[in-house]
Structure 1
Amino acid sequence: MVDGVRGYLFIAAMWMRSTLTYRTSFVLLTLAQLVTSGLDFVVIAVMFAHTDTLGGFELGEVAFLYGTSGVALGLADLLVGSAQQVGRRIRDGSLDVLLVRPVPVFAQVAADRFALRRLGRLTQTGAALAWSLVLLDVDWTWDRVLLLPWMLLSGTAIFAGIYVLGAAFQFWAADAAEVQNAFTHGGNTLTQFPPHVFARDLVRGVTFVVPLAFVNWMPALHVLDRPDPLGLPAFADFASPVVAAAVCGVAALAWRAAVRGYRSTGS
């Protein structure tokens, strides 16, 4: 574990130094990410130009969902998003080189081409979250205050676990990166909006099958004092850390099985 963290930090630092060598390019790419990410929020703002509520949620509440989901995905993408490129390494045979290095394979894959430009998305969604906190008329009791960092950390872990599961799946289906994006970036788009605007079967699916609801929906319903469309017990609002641990545990097992079962392409 210690060797893996040390190796990850070393490789990430190497790529950061490389990125900052071309500072103008870094700034432009980061701004491009910020603007591109911000267009999603522009769409939400346009919706509220024509309506006062969306699924019973006001602009500040939807901005809260947008910000919490976006920050969670932004952190996960920054930390382990490069793992989704493992399929390319399998196809061109370069994964074999990583296997013989004295650093855990996952640390190398996750830190490969560490992209500081992803801070653009993180900055934009963080700003939206901060703005939503100003708009919200919420009684910030101790449990609501604690839920906010729990929500962000748990959401990050859930998205990170999905990234790792997707990377493990690519050992058997090397062209599955877009399938993975459907659950990460697609899941982020889904959880930006209130669960009440979606069909109940879809909400059940992202609660009990792919637990995206625990990224922000469940804890946010408690913070915003909104009813649960599925009528789950109250403790479900606080279950995100447990769900995140379970997702990461399954992802770790899947990754280990994928690496152990890997057979070289012979390239």
Structure 2
Amino acid sequence: MVRTYALLAWTWTRAAAAYPASFALMVVLGCVTAALDIAVIMVVFANTTTLAGFSRDEVLFLYGTAGLAFTICDLLVSNLDRISQHIRAGTFDTFLIRPVGAWIQIATDRFVPTRLGRVALAATVLGYSLGALDLDWRRLWMVPVMVATGVVIFSALWTLAGALQFLLTDAPEVSSAFTYGTQQLTQYPFSVYSRDLVRGVTYVLPLAFVNWQPGLYVLGRDDPFGTPGFMRFLGPAAALVLALTAGLAWRRGIRRYRSTGS
């Protein structure tokens, strides 16, 4: 499965690299676009020293961990949001008759390697924040776990959004709400949001386990909403449950699909 994905992604990468000037320009433009979110954080802290009790470097740490996980998914699986286009055009049939899983084919369809610039920028922000913060080194093992958990959670959300498009074939904004919309939530400390919203993204849609709950452990902070300490370590379990749910939804979507006959 991994080898097949890599081969398909490499095919699109070679095609993009055939035009080096365009490739480099798109990488730079991707970095500039992503840098706008960081600029917003800088503007906020140009007028205050803390945001909901968190310092600038702590916010950058939360942004970096969530941003790195999200940009990796944006690079690897974001093309799942194009399913509705294939369904409407009748081209989804071709993915089903090939000896490769439809999920892998859709994820690598028109693979965009220039999004690597966004991954590099998010990694740079995370690296800076880790260097700027005085963290307990014994807690740093959680950082790669956070990123891996975030990758699984965001991938599952993209898969769920893709599965939903088998039912709502003309609602691409649903994917954006599930993916880019949820990523916007994780850019800031959850203490800036209402208690009800935080409960929803903790117990229903487990976005809190991308960077908030484990991030509190790394930073040595108490949860302002009073959740128990063991919640800091439930990220992998929450990601597994969401991934299994997304897998089941995807399988149901495939079974529900009816060919256009083209």
TM over 0.5, shorter chain: yes
1:154, 1:248 → 2: CA distance?
10
1:68 equivalenced with 2:65 (yes/no): yes
Aligned to 1:32: 29
Report deviation, 1:69.
0.8
What residue identity is the alignment partner of 1:253? Answer: L
Q: Contact 1:162–1:184 (CA<8 Å) still a contact in 2? A: yes
Query: Share of identical aligned residues, percent?
Result: 48
TM-score by length of 2: 0.97
Look up the SS of the partner of 1:232 in the other structure: coil
Report deviation, 1:233.
1.9
Aligned to 1:121: 118
1:155, 1:242 → 2: CA distance?
12
Unaligned runs of 5+ in 2: none
What residue identity is the alignment partner of 2:93? Answer: D
Match of residue 149, structure 1, among 139, 144, 161: 144
Unaligned runs of 5+ in 1: none
Report deviation, 1:239.
0.7
Query: What is the RMSD of the two structures over their aligned residues, measured on CA atoms?
Result: 1.1
What residue identity is the alignment partner of 2:169? Answer: A
1:47, 1:217 → 2: CA distance?
20
1:21 equivalenced with 2:15 (yes/no): no
Aligned to 2:168: 173
What residue identity is the alignment partner of 2:29? Answer: A
- Show CA shifts across 1:157-186 (max 9, x none): 000000000000000101332222123222
Q: Which structure 1 residue ranges, 4+ long, deviate > 3 Å from structure 2?
A: none
- Show CA shifts across 1:44-63 (max 9, x none): 00110000000010010000
Aligned to 2:218: 223
Look up the SS of the partner of 2:77 in the other structure: helix
Q: Contact 1:7–1:108 (CA<8 Å) still a contact in 2? A: no
2:206, 2:194 → 1: CA distance?
16
Count of equivalent residues: 262
Report deviation, 1:122.
0.8
1:55 equivalenced with 2:46 (yes/no): no
Match of residue 192, structure 2, among 194, 197, 206: 197
What residue identity is the alignment partner of 1:67? Answer: G
Report deviation, 1:30.
0.9
1:136, 1:183 → 2: CA distance?
31
Report deviation, 1:13.
1.1
TM-score by length of 1: 0.95
1:43 equivalenced with 2:70 (yes/no): no
Report deviation, 1:254.
0.7
